[in-house]
Amino acid sequence: MAGKITRGSSNIFADLGFDYPEEMETKAKLVSQINAIIKNRKLTQKKAGEILGITQSRVSDLSRGGLSGFSVDRILRLLNKLDRDIEIVIKTKTTKKPATTTVIFADKKLA
C-alpha cells in the first residue's frame, strides 16, 4: 500500500511547523558553513571552541545542527571569528511571492 506523498515547500522548517521558519533556515545554512570551515581546517572541537570563544560541547551542538541558543547575530560573529567577511544586501523583491532571506556563500570550495 502506497502512502500519500505531499510536496513540501523549499523550507523544511516551514513544512515541519516551526515558528520563524525563515530564521531557522538562515541559521541552519550559516551553521553548515561553520561546520564546513571547521572540517576544512581539520580543527578539533576543542580547538574550534577556543577560536570561537565557546565550549567544546557547544561546538558539538553546532556540528549536530543544534541551533538552540544561537541567534543569527551570534552565528555571524562566529563566522567572523573564523576569518569570514559577511556582507548583507537588502534589495527590493522582484516577484509577487513573499520576501525571503537568501544566504549565498562566496567560498565555492566550502559550498
The b/e string for 68-89 (b: 16+ C-beta within 10 A; e otherwise) is eebeeeebeebbeebebeeeee
Q: In this model, does residue 1 exceed pLDDT 70?
A: no
Between 1.10.260.40, 1.10.760.10, 3.30.1330.10, 3.40.50.12780, what CATH number should domain 19-81 receive?
Answer: 1.10.260.40
Contact between residue 40 and residue 110 where contact means Cβ atoms under 8 Å apart = yes
**Mean pLDDT, residues 89-110:** 84
User: Considering the entire predicted model, what is its pTM?
Assistant: 0.82
10-65 pLDDT, tens per residue?
888 888 888 888 899 999 999 999 999 999 999 999 999 999 999 999 999 999 99
In the chain, what are the domain boundaries?
19-81
